Amino acid sequence: MASKKYRQGVFVPKNQSKFIGTKAVYRSGLELKFFRFCDDNKNILKWSSENVVVPYVSPVDGRVHRYFVDNYIQVKEGNNIKNYLVEIKPFRQTKPPATKYKKKQHLLYEQKQWAINTSKWESAKKYAKQKGWEFIIITEKDLK
């Protein structure tokens, strides 16, 4: 069952012609804010939610897993059109976990998540580069 602590749901785009896919599921308030930005911004030509899948090797078990990148966007920047893979994360999750004042179990969980996320992000960077795209991470600091 989904936690009530986090904002989750299905976003219905006003500009359906810009959205690629069947539905936009947001798993946080940050993702919802980004979806609204994509839907309303005239320079966002196309966008999707979790429709790009990148294989990555987990540093935890050494096996190949599938990373569903949060978003793909196609943006008009001046006279150019650029494509981005976008991960939406709280800023604190984009840095290695601090070791101070944490219970061992909590610290181990954060270190494991950090290792998995950095592996995913490195794979996404390589995937994007092969396609002539760019991989970016957007936080609440970018969505003000």
Residue range 55-114, pLDDT digits in tens: 999 999 999 999 999 999 999 999 999 999 999 999 999 999 887 766 888 888 999 999
pLDDT of 2 reads: 46
Residue 58 in domain: yes
Range of the structural domain that residue 124 is part of: 9-138
Q: How many domains does the chain have?
A: 1
Residue 3 in domain: no
CATH number of the CATH domain containing 25: 3.40.1350.10
Residue 66 in domain: yes
pLDDT of 101 reads: 65
d(CA 43, CA 65): 33
Grade residue 7 by pLDDT with cuts at 50, 70 and 90.
Answer: confident
Residue 144 in domain: no
Percent of the chain at pLDDT > 90 equals: 85
Count CA within 13 A, CB hemisphere, residue 91.
Answer: 5
CB 43 within 8 A of CB 76: yes
Residue 55 token pair = 């294989």
pTM over 0.95: no
